[in-house]
Structure 1
């Protein structure tokens, strides 16, 4: 009996430690909204993970932003907030990823659906804010993160270099440029210089 108790105790500690890896709802909300402009944080909708690690809505929103909490299973810190008009595009990507589709399959599926009109894309520009940090700069349980890097993406479906005058690559630090031009996923990239 004594020989059985020790492995069971160790197994219980393992599962307890695994459960502890998911920050509280409050900590996930606190860090997810850091990607948003300050005046939009309080009203943003927030997605994250429940205690069991299941994707869920952590907070309903009252403005135009949707924020995504850090994935506790991924290395480092990575949160994002985006305009609600991007939600169908983002949700479809999550569905396809869950089905095991790779980046190209997700891109092609959404491209075809957007062309067919079955995937609603923003009619005007829609912004995404992405905030990242190294793992050593993030304390998930305390909701503290330092040395962050914020970049900006403005989705402009079907736009091209010709329709925008944007370069196809950045030629100087922080210079806006267009990525995936002419597709449903066309977007302006703005990567401020890192300190």
Structure 2
């Protein structure tokens, strides 16, 4: 009887483990997925990173323009797709390395701050664009990579910019308006977040972890 119960438990655990295994989409689908957040005229020439069967990030396509796109991470809930200027790659790549090392968001920010101040981490020397598209897994076409009903926002990294140097506020006071987040720091960036619901008079949360 005990053996039968133990066998049943092992089977159930096996099913649970299988159910939790993330689905890694084919490379062509991941490329289409990641590219859709870039401006339409630039999509064919972007560099794309996606995920292999083990869930690790890998280069899927070497592009010829100045944009790098990331497919959705199958290990995380929801859908998150982004494209950014090659000028941001050292900053973004270092962040990914620190995440793999198990660093928390506060730790990651402090490490990159120190490295930027020391000069070992290269920051963009001109305002550099990041496009972000978020959505729900139920709205992701598994065959094409197309995400419907997604929510897109725009970020322009401009290290050490201040409210005085840009004329931007450090918080939005109207829906969809640009504003400066983390002013005066190595990660200062302009946020432009279209309102999710035009009928609302307040701006939704626009924080992010890049």
TM-score, normalised via structure 2 length: 0.83
Match of residue 21 from structure 2: 18
- Counterpart for residue 75 of structure 2: 73
Rounded to whole Å, the distance in 2 between the matches of 1:26 and 1:70 is 13
Cα drift, residue 25 of structure 1: 0.3
Query: 1:185 is matched with which residue?
Result: 187
Deviation of the 1:139 alpha carbon: 3.0
Question: What's 2:107 paired with?
Answer: 105
Higher relative contact order (CA 8 A, sep 6+): 1
**Which string of whole-angstrom CA distances, capped at 9 and with x for unpartnered residues, describes residues 88-130 of structure 1?**
0001101111111111111111111111111000111000000
Q: Structure 1: where are the runs of 5+ without partners?
A: none
1:159 aligns with 2:161: yes
Query: Cα RMSD over matched residues?
Result: 2.1
Which deviations, in whole Å up to 9, do the C-alpha atoms of 1:15-55 show, x marking residues without a partner? Answer: 59837x11000111101111100111111100110122221
What is residue 131 of structure 1 aligned with on the other side?
A: 133
Q: Is the Cα contact below 8 Å between 2:36 and 2:146 reproduced in 1?
A: no
Structure 1 equivalent of residue 43 of structure 2: 41
Equivalent residue pairs, number: 189
Segments of 4+ in structure 1 off by > 2 A?
10-19, 139-142
Contact kept in structure 2, 1:76 and 1:138, CA below 8 Å: no
1:186 positional shift: 0.2
Compute the TM-score of the two structures, normalised by the length of structure 1. Answer: 0.89
Listed as ranges, the gaps of 5+ residues in structure 2 are 198-210
